[in-house]
Structures are given as C-alpha cells and as structure tokens.
C-alpha cells in the first residue's frame, strides 16, 4: 500500500478548554495508482485527513505510513523533505499568487531546493506546454482566466513529479465545464500511475469516471464506500 492509516487520531489544542478531536480512529489504505474521494460536509475532517496524508503534520496518535515512511518517526525537517518529494497539492482556491507570473507560480515549490534558474525552467516548460499555458508564462497570474488558473495549479502540483496528488474541494469555485476539465486531467494523471485523493462533496467529483473508492467522512470518522 502506498498510503496506510491505522487508528489515526488528530486532536487540536490538546489539553486545553478548546480541545477538538478532528479525526477519531481512522482506518484507510490506498494502493498506488488509485483514485479516491473523501466525501463529507464542511468541518467533517476531510481537510485534516488530507493534511496528514500530505505530510503537513503527523497524527496525535496512530500509525500513518506515506510512501514507505512512518510519519511519527520523522523529525520536522525530514517530514518536510518527504512531503516535497512525494506530494503535489491542489488547493481549494488554487492558492495562486496573482502578482507574479504564471511561470514563477509553477516553480514556487522548487525554490527551497536550491536549483538554478536553468534547472527550474527545464522542469517547468514541459508542464506549461502540456497544460496549454506556455503562451501565458510571463503573464501575471492575476490576469489569466479561471480555466488557466486551474491548469497553473495542476502544473505546480506536478513540478516535483510526485507520486501522490491531493486536491481539497478542487471544484468548489469552478463551473461544471471547468470541473469536468479538471476531472479529465485527474483521470489522465491516474492513467500515468499517480495516486489521486480528492476531498469533495460535489457529486461531479465523487461520481466521476475513474474513482475507485469513496470514503465518507463525518465528525472525524471515516467509512468505506460512501454513497
């Protein structure tokens, strides 16, 4: 299994008056090359679950193994390194910086790695071409269309060639046409052998072609094959 979660608990503000249990005894396993959806309402724990899978932080307790590494055993510095090698994120509002160029947005994840401008360009240009935004490379990201922003976000997620792509409510701010375009892009990545995990309550996502399993997330608990 590429992703193994066993008895995962995540507690925020532990021991304080405002303590919140965001995840409670979660069990989940995802094979390499699968496309999985996390389905549930806002506040159900989907984003916290994505954050743990995405190596942003370890669980409070339980065993989380992501791409062969057990998170609880990794110091923060190595957790960050593992995330950069393994995970590509597509955020709900894409998190594109509007004042810098399309190209600069795409290569942002490479900046902490100390690569030369030539090395960054060599990785970015094929993605700009693949997603049809090469002609926009020097445009400020705030001046391009919503569909182009979507493709910038996908290109940025792929810049480190990660085996796992995580998308948090990716269609929340897209119309139905752009949502279908996004899902077609995700299916193509799955067919390349990447593992896709999308958190969403949008039926277009949870019922999309290529989705292997839907997990229901409610009040921090996870159930298989949600309908």
Contact indicator for 148, 133 with CB cutoff of 8 Å: yes
pLDDT tens-place values along the chain, 227 residues long: 899 999 999 999 998 999 999 999 999 999 999 999 999 998 899 999 999 999 998 999 999 999 999 998 888 889 999 999 999 999 887 889 999 999 999 999 999 888 999 999 999 999 999 999 999 999 999 999 989 999 999 999 999 999 999 999 999 888 999 999 999 999 999 999 999 999 999 999 999 999 999 999 999 999 986 54
Residue 137 covered by a domain: no
Residue 155 covered by a domain: no
Q: Is 68 helix (H, G, I), strand (E, B) or coil?
A: coil
- Provide the pLDDT for residue 42: 87
**What's the CATH code of the domain at 206?**
3.40.50.300
- The label of the residue with tokens 């791409």 reads 67
- The label of the residue with tokens 């594109």 reads 96
> The tokens of 45 are what?
């724990």
> The tokens of 39 are what?
């389905």
Residue 71 covered by a domain: yes
Report the number of distinct structural domains present in the chain: 1
Residue 66 covered by a domain: yes
What pTM does this model have? 0.92
27-47 in b/e form (b: 16+ CB < 10 A) is ebebeeebbbbbbbeeebbbb
Residue 166 covered by a domain: yes
- Provide the pLDDT for residue 226: 57
The boundaries of the domain holding residue 80 are 3-96+160-223
> The tokens of 83 are what?
């995330």
Residue 136 covered by a domain: no
């Amino acid at each position: 299994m590429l992703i193994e979660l066993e008895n995962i608990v995540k507690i925020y503000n532990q021991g304080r008056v405002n303590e919140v249990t965001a995840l409670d005894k979660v069990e989940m396993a995802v094979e390499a090359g699968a496309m999985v959806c996390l389905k549930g309402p806002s506040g159900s724990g989907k984003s916290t679950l994505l954050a743990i899978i995405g190596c942003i932080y370890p669980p409070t307790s339980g065993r989380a193994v992501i791409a062969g590494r057990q998170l609880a055993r990794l110091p923060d510095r190595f957790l960050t390194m593992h995330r950069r090698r393994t995970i590509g994120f597509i955020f709900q509002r894409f998190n594109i910086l509007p004042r810098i160029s399309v190209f600069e947005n795409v290569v942002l994840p490479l900046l902490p790695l100390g690569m030369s401008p030539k090395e960054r360009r060599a990785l970015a240009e094929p993605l700009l071409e693949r997603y049809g935004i090469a002609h926009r490379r020097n445009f400020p990201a705030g001046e391009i269309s919503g569909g182009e922003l979507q493709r910038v976000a996908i290109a940025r997620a792929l810049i480190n060639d990660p085996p796992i792509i995580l998308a948090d409510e990716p269609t929340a701010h897209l119309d139905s046409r752009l949502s279908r375009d996004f899902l077609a892009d995700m299916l193509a990545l799955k067919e390349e052998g990447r593992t896709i995990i999308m958190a969403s309550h949008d039926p277009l996502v949870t019922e999309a072609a290529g989705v292997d399993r839907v997990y229901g997330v409610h009040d921090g608990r996870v159930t298989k094959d949600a309908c």
